[in-house]
Structure 1
């Protein structure tokens, strides 16, 4: 006899039973208001696994008494969609939960669109992928997008206690005693994934024989063996990965050593050395740059050492680099300078290369006037001579605006201004 998992049995029947996501379903919030007014619109629920996307959909259906159907965009066919649409035509509004909506192909999408506009089908799409990146604009324009978040520990505790006490859908008929440290492990190891926590709890309860007192005593070791610890880092091609590397760079840019080490630890835990190496190289030259060029060089050496060592030892040079970059003075003047030059170029400001700078190594160049008036700087005192290098049309352009956040760029700024003055240019 097939028995549904505990997480399935404990799904909320009304919007009031939803645990977490109070920014959407709490009293006065948008989904709560939709349900109260029975003015539902199609939506996409986006967030990590086990955070309540399906629960919210079933709770909406339970609160409004509309028919509720579930399909998977990847595995169910266009014919399956047609059956749901025919049901809506015959019996009224149907709420359709479409899991993995980011995998909806064009044929299914084209079939669905007119039915969404008519309001017969209320689509609730569920996805772990960023809909602004992975879902077709035609679907996005007909839905509201709501992000759901991993559940907090106190929210997880409410759901777990409810499951332990419910005698009909939960484990209330079993004489379960769970130690405090075991419950804490259950609530934290799954990183906000309630489905994993509930199913792990059920596995622990049903695989542990009663003790002499007739109780099912769940200890920390039992919970550790029954619940798979969920990684803090998503798949390297997923949205969570990009969020992590973004937070990593922004923490270093903001000079927060502890935050940067935290995000480095997440990436190390995922074993993603290529992403760490690439991101640290970018950070060194984009965010520290001319304020501390030796730190950039040492970062590259640390990356090379980590690549030779591999994990776990590779974490050591990486930590050195991250701490130094965090504590270093910062300057983004180099990236701002090249971006300014590229921007002017894209706007059509470039002009002709001055004749005296053109290639003069071939026979006949002198007849064209190429290179004939070029002044070789090493023939002059201090190996410098005043002459024009930019095209005449943009000869007064300035792209580099030095900062004074470290001794290196402060010195560069002084030299840069002296050279501009000698050229007769204004800053």
Structure 2
């Protein structure tokens, strides 16, 4: 009776779907496994993205004993059992879910075992570990971000489950339509656990067709089992991305009614995550310095939406969308940083001027580092003329301010005043 997502957990590193920045050939976790030099780590990221799968695969690839505990519900005595096993049989890989809820007594018990390496801890959390996990644990672990799976990752995992006759659904003759597959790959926003469990529910709750004895899973069946409606039924499976694209372009084009229409479609599909991410991007990419306060209010609206959830989340989000549409627009900030990044990528950069180099170490003075630096706060108006760019980029301009709105107009005046004085 174990769910499909549990049964399909990878047994080896090479079987992991997604997270190739960590487990791909030559990447950090793959190197640890190949060298059998494991170190304790914390994996953080959204639910269903493979944190437990990575831990299971590490243990399977290295042949170490593997134990799973939950920091919130399992006791210190459970940790003592794992430590005793490690003492008797050697290294144990311990997957500790919800590690951000580890109490101090449990933490104090674990620390010496992590120091010795008898327990290789793989902590999993959806919280930011730099905020939610104690410094004592953080200092003894490596921290890696686990990212939401892409649609192609999810599709690969679905195909694996449909083909696997031992742990998957391979013994069932399942016909999954392309529209149903597309919805499965997109509707859970990278949560593979939810995807596979919905697929299993659909397969086992749908009677075979008496004409061909196949289990036909169409879009309506998958919508019911996921409890999420598809945005539209399109043959190419691009509707999700098309609606998000239209949403941003409508706000960029200052059309409030169109933007609200696409917001409604996304919310009706239950896609609060994409709405929030896209609004944050729009606020800084398309409105930017023309109205910085709008970006701050967008962040507040998204925070409120996340706290109250749907359907009430529609209210602060509608406020944000309308304000962003009506607001003056400017893409000067993204254009500026992209121009600077392009210079760096092309190798168009030089040495940091000696006056700006770090002078807080012995011997810096002899090298001439920081000796002629002028501290702006020691001068009238807290400003003094000196060179900050590398000499080969002297007078380079990345930021080209616009006059769309009184705020960036004021920024432009001050920027040009400072630039003229610098020259």
TM bucket normalised to smaller = 0.5 to 0.7
The verdict on how the C-alpha distance between 1:394 and 1:121 changes in structure 2, with shifts beyond 3 A counting, is: closer
The residue that corresponds to 2:218 in the other structure is 219
Runs (5+) with no aligned partner, structure 1: 231-250, 272-276, 304-309, 332-392, 417-427
The verdict on how the C-alpha distance between 1:92 and 1:322 changes in structure 2, with shifts beyond 3 A counting, is: same
Greater mean deviation of Cα atoms: 153-162 or 6-15: 153-162
The residue that corresponds to 1:148 in the other structure is 146
1:96 partnered with 2:98: no
The verdict on how the C-alpha distance between 1:169 and 1:415 changes in structure 2, with shifts beyond 3 A counting, is: closer
The verdict on how the C-alpha distance between 1:228 and 1:41 changes in structure 2, with shifts beyond 3 A counting, is: farther
Moved over 3 A (4+): 255-258, 264-271, 279-283, 285-290, 310-318, 328-331, 393-399, 403-416
The verdict on how the C-alpha distance between 1:175 and 1:415 changes in structure 2, with shifts beyond 3 A counting, is: closer
- 1:278-303: CA deviation from partner (whole Å, max 9, x where unpaired): x99999x994469xxxx98xx99xx9
Three-state SS of the structure 2 residue aligned to 1:322 is: helix
Greater mean deviation of Cα atoms: 161-170 or 85-94: 161-170
Three-state SS of the structure 2 residue aligned to 1:160 is: helix
Greater mean deviation of Cα atoms: 312-321 or 37-46: 312-321
1:321 partnered with 2:323: yes
The residue that corresponds to 1:242 in the other structure is none
Three-state SS of the structure 1 residue aligned to 2:381 is: coil
Three-state SS of the structure 1 residue aligned to 2:123 is: strand
Aligned length: 323
Conserved 8 A contact 1:49-1:128: yes
Three-state SS of the structure 2 residue aligned to 1:63 is: helix
Q: Aligned-pair distance for 1:133?
A: 1.2
1:215, 1:12 → 2: CA distance?
28
1:16, 1:85 → 2: CA distance?
29
Conserved 8 A contact 2:291-2:408: no
Q: Aligned-pair distance for 1:229?
A: 3.9
Q: 1:406 aligns with which of 391, 403, 406?
A: 403
Three-state SS of the structure 1 residue aligned to 2:327 is: helix
- 1:229-272: CA deviation from partner (whole Å, max 9, x where unpaired): 49xxxxxxxxxxxxxxxxxxxx9xxx9679x979x95899659x
2:114, 2:409 → 1: CA distance?
63
Q: Aligned-pair distance for 1:155?
A: 1.4
Conserved 8 A contact 1:257-1:326: no
Conserved 8 A contact 1:51-1:194: yes
Conserved 8 A contact 1:190-1:228: no
1:210, 1:404 → 2: CA distance?
64
The verdict on how the C-alpha distance between 1:142 and 1:319 changes in structure 2, with shifts beyond 3 A counting, is: same
Q: Aligned-pair distance for 1:320?
A: 3.6
Conserved 8 A contact 2:95-2:121: yes
The residue that corresponds to 1:419 in the other structure is none
After TM superposition, the structure 1 = structure 2 runs for residues 53-68 of structure 1, keeping only pairs within 5 Å, are 53-68=51-66
> TM-score, normalising length from structure 1?
0.63
The verdict on how the C-alpha distance between 1:85 and 1:212 changes in structure 2, with shifts beyond 3 A counting, is: same
Conserved 8 A contact 2:291-2:329: no
Conserved 8 A contact 1:289-1:330: no
The residue that corresponds to 2:189 in the other structure is 191
Q: Aligned-pair distance for 1:328?
A: 5.2
Conserved 8 A contact 1:257-1:327: no
1:203, 1:62 → 2: CA distance?
28
2:407, 2:188 → 1: CA distance?
47
Conserved 8 A contact 1:204-1:218: yes
Conserved 8 A contact 1:257-1:322: no
Q: Aligned-pair distance for 1:397?
A: 3.2
1:184, 1:404 → 2: CA distance?
42
2:104, 2:198 → 1: CA distance?
38
Conserved 8 A contact 2:291-2:327: no
Q: Aligned-pair distance for 1:326?
A: 5.2
The residue that corresponds to 1:274 in the other structure is none
After TM superposition, the structure 1 = structure 2 runs for residues 229-248 of structure 1, keeping only pairs within 5 Å, are 229=228
The verdict on how the C-alpha distance between 1:325 and 1:269 changes in structure 2, with shifts beyond 3 A counting, is: farther
2:75, 2:316 → 1: CA distance?
47
Q: 1:82 aligns with which of 80, 83, 96?
A: 80
Q: 1:26 aligns with which of 24, 27, 34?
A: 24
2:182, 2:319 → 1: CA distance?
34
> TM-score, normalising length from structure 2?
0.63
Three-state SS of the structure 1 residue aligned to 2:124 is: strand
- 1:25-59: CA deviation from partner (whole Å, max 9, x where unpaired): 11111111111111000000111111110001000
Q: 2:119 aligns with which of 121, 125, 150?
A: 121
1:81, 1:192 → 2: CA distance?
32
The verdict on how the C-alpha distance between 1:327 and 1:207 changes in structure 2, with shifts beyond 3 A counting, is: same
Q: Aligned-pair distance for 1:414?
A: 12
